[in-house]
Each structure stands twice: as structure tokens, then as C-alpha cells.
Amino acid sequence: MSLPPEMKRIREAALKALGEVEPAGSPVTGDEPHALMLSSRTDGGRSLPPYYLVYFLLVDLLAFPHMGKWEKSAWTVPIRYRGRLYGIEHRKMGLGVFAPCLDPKATRSGRPTDDQEADAKEITALIQKAITIAKPYFEWRAEQAASGNQLNVSNKNGSLFERYEFFRDRCRALSREEEAKKDEHHFEKQALGDGTEVTSAFYPSFSPHIEAEWNAQAAIEAFFSWTEHAFIHLAILQGCLRTGDDVAQLAESDWKKKFKAALDLTDKATKTHYDTLLDIRAQLRNFLAHGAFGKRGEAFHFHSGAGAVPVLLTDDQRHRYALTGKPAFDESWALGEIEAFLEHLWSGPLEPAKHHLFSSLPSILTYVADGTYERAMESDESMKEFVEYLTHEFDNAANMDW
């Protein structure tokens, strides 16, 4: 990738910041290949920045030669520091500065010497300094990557949906407890200081009723949080988003645009669910975003001949207050509508997508461009096979089994 003029100045500054850290040259000579093969991790190299920043600094920006993949290793950049050989290597257990074995007859690596540990600390400090200087390059590199399709989009659907299920199931359990205790009541008589006798009533169903309501509200919030994420992945799987810029733009859009990008509103059933969910979302947002004064947005009560009159806060900038509004939303009804939508979502043409969304696999924009997702979305079985194959590939990559 050719660098713009301003990045060339950054390159020169970063190279200067590395000081005596230099490429080892290709190939290394004599016993050095054997020494690198038996190199051991230094403690001084454990503070290196993230592997991708080190790689983009040394390989991408400064064009240091590197060694390719081998067993349990993604890449190695052989360097020399004050003429001494070291390896900056991304192994299965993480990135590090690796000290070569100094005994040419050794058959296994040993512990680094004190001098090697001292060198590793200095190498790490110099790389950290160079990475700080190279920050504008990393920003430019990120912009270049986002404009293309060589990108994976993180998939958090599993954990987000589990949060919804947790609060939903907790609400259901509390509602059952409330129902079981609905006929219970306890009375307690007490005598006040002046001898007056009073009777207090206690209803065991009241506490689970309140907690069920809280958990229902949390479940509804969690559901909409999940949809904000899931709709983006559904749009990718259907080929509607092709670049990082497309994903970023939709991620910044409102919920309505995300829904429309993922689902077809010309379908009557989908449109009905959309209208219902939009109404639930607006009512819940009004309740919580306005400080939870009241489910209808009532924040004040003014004095009148009729008695106390609730004043509602509205989203209308021309008329901030009102006396009339929609009925207060009912949590159990809202959860029922959410479950109905989920059943509709996974019973239509998007059913294959469910396997991918809850697999923890990222959505890969490259597969939009080459038609892989289009083929996988043809049937439930096609997506299952694809997810199984890709999961295996990701497991191999995580273990660095090339």
C-alpha cells in the first residue's frame, strides 16, 4: 500500500524512534536459524503493545522482513539490537520478545540470560515509543481498511440475547410466585402509645409483583439492545452491507433504519410487528428517558377545581406538555409481543441466519462480496454446514494449527 507524503514523514520519525532496533536481515546466517527456533520468551518483552500494532509498525510501515506461519506461531520478525539477534514473535500464548538459544548444540530452549532480559526491556520501550509516534499512521490505516470489505464485524448476539432471556425468565418466575401468593394476607394488631389499637395488613404477593415489573422493564430494554446489534448482522448476511463504512453508518442510525435494513416491511406481518415494537420502544423510552416519573410521561400534577391533574411530558418540541396521551404500557403484554416477533423472525426466510447469529462467529464482509453468505442463506442446512466449517477454521486459527 503506497503511503501519502505525510505518512512518509511519520515513517521516518518512527524508524528514528526505534534507535538501534534494526531488521536482522534475510536470511539470518550460521547457527542463527537454529537459535531462533529454540528461542525463549523474555519477561522484558511481556509489556509490548497489542500484536497488531507491533506488526503494522514493523512490517507494514517500516517494511521489516518477517518469517511466515509455523507451528503455534503466526509470525516472527527477526531483529538485531546493538548487533544481537532477537525475535519479535506472535505465538499461541501471546506476543513477546524472544531470546535465541546461545548454545549451538542445544536441543531445547533455556531461560534468557540477564543481558538478554535487559535488552528485551529496552527493545520493548523503543517499540512502545515508535508506536506512539506512529499513531497517525494507524488512524490512516484504519480508515483505509474501513472503506473496504476485508473486515470482520464482531458478533455479540449470544450474550446480548442471554441478558434478555435472563430478565424475561426472572420476570416469569416472579409472576408465578405472585400468582401463588395472591390470596395470602396477614394482619397484625398493634397498640400505639396512647393505647389506640391499629391493624396492619401485609400481602406477600406485593413484593414479587413489583420485582416482576422491574425485571420485565429490564427485559424489554435488553431486547431492544439486542435488536440494535442483531439487525446489523442480519443486514450483512443478506448482502445489504458490503463495507466497513456501510456498517458504521448503519450502526450510527436509529432503530427504525436498522429494522428496515434487516427486514422487509412490504410483508404485512412484519409491518404489524414493526408498528407494535416501535410503539413499545417509544413508550418505554419515554418512561425511562424522562426520569421514570410515570409510564405515560406524567411529571407534574397541577392544582385545579377538578383536583390533581397529571401533566405529561412529550417529544413534540412545539408542545412540550399535554393532558392526554397513550395508555400506560403493560409489561406482560409487551413481553408477549416481543416473543411473537421472535417467533415470526425465525420462522421465515431469515431462519438460517439464526445459526450464524448465535454461533459467536463474526460477520465477514468479504463473504458478502464473493456470494458465500448468499449461498449459506439458501437453506437451514446450508447455514448449519457453513457455521460448522467456519467454527472449525476459527478454532484452528486460535490454536495456531496451520
Which tens digits make up the pLDDT trace of 12-56?
999 999 999 999 875 455 677 777 777 889 999 999 999 999 999
Instruction: For residue 277, give the C-alpha cell.
Output: 415494537
Q: Confirm if 226 and 155 have CB atoms less than 8 A apart.
A: no
pLDDT tens for each residue of 92-125: 889 999 998 876 666 677 788 899 999 999 999 9
Sequence-distant contacts of 193-196: CB under 8 A, at least 24 apart? none
The whole-number pLDDT of residue 232 equals 97
Instruction: For residue 126, give the C-alpha cell.
Output: 523503543
How confident is the model over 301-311, as a mean pLDDT? Answer: 71
The whole-number pLDDT of residue 297 equals 53
Q: How far is it, in rounded angstroms, from Cα 211 to Cα 324?
A: 29
Q: How far is it, in rounded angstroms, from Cα 225 to Cα 162?
A: 11
**Range with lowest mean pLDDT among 89-98, 156-165, 381-390:** 89-98
More confident site: 253 or 150: 253
Measured from the Cβ of residue 288, the count of other Cβ atoms closer than 10 Å reads 13
Does 183 have pLDDT greater than 50?
A: yes
More confident site: 212 or 186: 212
Q: How far is it, in rounded angstroms, from Cα 373 to Cα 153?
A: 14
Give the closest residue to 59 by CA, choosing from 6, 125, 134. 134
Instruction: For residue 265, give the C-alpha cell.
Output: 416491511
Instruction: For residue 303, give the C-alpha cell.
Output: 392544582
Instruction: For residue 261, give the C-alpha cell.
Output: 435494513
The whole-number pLDDT of residue 91 equals 87
Q: How far is it, in rounded angstroms, from Cα 178 to Cα 171?
A: 10
Q: Where are the domains of the chain?
A: 5-146, 152-263+354-402, 269-334+344-349
Q: Confirm if 360 and 155 have CB atoms less than 8 A apart.
A: yes
What rounded mean pLDDT belongs to the chain?
A: 87
Grade residue 328 by pLDDT with cuts at 50, 70 and 90: low
**Range with lowest mean pLDDT among 107-111, 228-232, 320-324:** 320-324
How confident is the model over 247-267, as a mean pLDDT? Answer: 96
How confident is the model over 239-268, as a mean pLDDT? Answer: 95
Beta bridge partners of 91: 73, 94
Does 7 have pLDDT greater than 80?
A: yes
E-strand spans in 62-175? 73-81, 84-91, 94-99, 152-153
More confident site: 289 or 154: 154
Q: How far is it, in rounded angstroms, from Cα 349 to Cα 89?
A: 46
DSSP 70: B
How confident is the model over 144-159, as a mean pLDDT? Answer: 90
How confident is the model over 367-389, as a mean pLDDT? Answer: 96
Q: Confirm if 61 and 73 have CB atoms less than 8 A apart.
A: no
